[in-house]
Amino acid sequence: MERREQGNKRYLDKLFEFQKSINVFFNKPELLVAALTHPSYLAEHPNEKVHNQRLEFLGDAILGSVVADYLYHQYPEHPEGQLTRMRAAVVCEATLARLANSLNLGSFLRLGKGEELSGGRRRASTLADAFEALTAAIFLDKGWERTRQFLGEFLKDEIERTARGCYIDYKTCLQEIIQQQGNEKLHYVLLEESGPDHAKQFVSGVIWRSQLLGKGTGRSKKEAEQQAACAALKHLGKIKNISPA
């Protein structure tokens, strides 16, 4: 019991240093702890009751709203479709994982042993989820305005990067190419779904003229479809030497 208490105190001390680094000090530090607790941790610590999946759900919505608000006001000349693609690029897994790494978020995660050994601290999906959960924790503790300020500090460069065209919406690119061939439509199909609820993996395929043009894998159906479209574009020879984000 004493060893566990000492371990908890060391972790809380570590989290205090993290709060200093992001200049956000929680009134309810339990929110921050929850945001950094992976579901796998609870399986080995039955006294713990909360992990970060619900916070991740809320954080995803908050991120989308903050980015949409910024884009709407900063780029009044952009049409809705372009704003949508920009928002998707900013809040995608690769971007959020990169932001999480900039905060060294992986070193603060509470993981189960299996997740730890399998590289969970470096896994893009885990880091992106943690960033979303952190966003929600700040929102619940500090409110909308402080959350918007926090995200603005970290997302501004990413937003400006996408505004310069440094992003690719593979599905849109593929659709535009296919439309040049006639009225045939693309169809995306779910080929496989695997993994536990907290670490789902989806495999999707894109069909054109009854042919499978490409397959893709992702932690969501949308991400898997994007990767399938990227594979199809490579297959068609339209883009080369591009690695999916």
Residue-wise pLDDT for 136-183, tens only, equals 999 999 999 999 999 988 888 888 877 776 566 678 778 877 876 776
Choice among 56, 60, 129, 225 that is catalytic: 60
Flag whether 243 is in a domain: no
Q: Is the pLDDT of residue 245 over 50?
A: no
Q: Which residue do the tokens 């399938």 mark? A: 228
pLDDT for the residue 2: 52
Under DSSP, the state recorded for 185 is P
Check residue 241 and give its pLDDT.
Answer: 42
User: Are residues 108 and 217 located together in one domain of the fold?
Assistant: no
CA angle 217–222–228, rounded 5-degree value: 45
Enter the DSSP assignment of 37. B
The backbone torsions φ and ψ at residue 216, rounded to the nearest 5 degrees and listed phi first, read: -145, 155
Specify whether the CB–CB gap between 213 and 226 falls below 8 A. Answer: no
244 lies in a domain?
no
pLDDT beyond 70 at 225: yes
Query: How many domains does the chain contain in total?
Result: 2
The continuous run of DSSP H or E covering 218 comes out as strand 211-218
Which among 129, 132, 169, 223 is annotated as catalytic? Answer: 132
Please say if 48 is a catalytic residue: no
Are the CB atoms for 58 and 142 separated by under 8 Å?
no
* Whole-number pLDDT of residue 125: 83
CATH number at residue 231: 3.30.160.20
Task: State which residues form the domain around 198.
Answer: 170-236
153 and 221 assigned to the same domain = no
d(CA 112, CA 91): 26
Residue from 10, 39, 35, 38 nearest 22 by CA: 35
pLDDT at 93: 77
As beta bridge partners, residue 171 has none
pLDDT at 9 over 80: no
Half-sphere exposure of 64 (CA within 13 A, CB side): 11
- pLDDT of 7 reads 58
Note whether 226 and 244 are within 8 A (CB). yes
Q: Considering the domain boundaries, does residue 241 fall inside one?
A: no
pTM (two decimals) = 0.69
